[in-house]
Amino acid sequence: MAVGKRKYATLDLAVDALSVTLVLAFTMFINVRLPIAANGGLIHLGNVPLLLAAFCFGRRTGALCGGLGMAMFDLISGWTPWAPFTLVIVGLMGYVVGALGERFPTLWSFALGAGLALLIKIAGYYAAEGILYANWIAPLNSVPGNLLQMGVAIAVTLPLALPMRKLMRRVVHTKEA
């Protein structure tokens, strides 16, 4: 949400904390474990608040809510070895969507950012699974789940992105309304 070079304000802290909490809650409580993935894949809706928060409030909020929200889920739910990878992968996803949203606040830039986030997720978790399990073939099983997870998130957020951004910019009283 940082506009120009202003200081990190209490409002920014509240937006970031709420965004992290929403990502954690949507990941933790709205999910389905996949029986097809060799290492127990998970489909969740945590990417919905991640994509919207990143587009509405920028790269800092996107990186924080994505990285921290989903890494906390990994720590809480027993997926502890995944937490450092998630922190980086999903943090980068949020950063990219947020950076594009800051620079080009259009539906096309949101779609591009979400598409790039999809690629980051697939490549990042493929590499993470390859490292964690010392196997570069088995991670291919997680690609369909990641595609489905991000496909649903993009389908849900695409029609909401611009109206939510406009509303959030009004609510937090930034210059761009």
pLDDT of residue 39: 56
Q: How many whole angstroms separate alpha carbon 120 and alpha carbon 48?
A: 16
pLDDT of residue 175: 54
Q: What is the pLDDT of residues 15-64, one digit of tens each?
A: 999 999 999 999 999 888 777 655 556 789 999 999 999 999 999 999 99
**Do residues 51 and 114 touch, judged by C-beta distance below 8 A?**
yes
Summary mean pLDDT of the chain: 91
Helix (H) or strand (E) holding 174: none
**Do residues 91 and 61 touch, judged by C-beta distance below 8 A?**
no
Percent share of the chain, pLDDT over 70: 90
Closest CA to 52 of 174, 172, 176, 154: 154
pLDDT of residue 172: 82
Closest CA to 98 of 44, 146, 53: 53
In this predicted structure, the answer to whether residue 177 has a pLDDT above a threshold of 50 is: no
Burial class (CB in 10 A: 0-12, 13-18, 19+), 95: buried
Place of tokens 């937006």: 15
End-to-end distance of the chain based on CA atoms, in angstroms? Answer: 12
pTM of the model: 0.91
> Where in the chain are the domains?
10-171
Asked which of 28-32, 86-90, 131-135 is least confident by mean pLDDT, the reply is 28-32
Q: What is the average pLDDT across 114-121?
A: 98
Q: How many whole angstroms separate alpha carbon 42 and alpha carbon 115?
A: 20
The correct CATH number of 10-171 out of 1.10.10.10, 1.10.1760.20, 3.30.2000.10, 1.20.140.10 is 1.10.1760.20
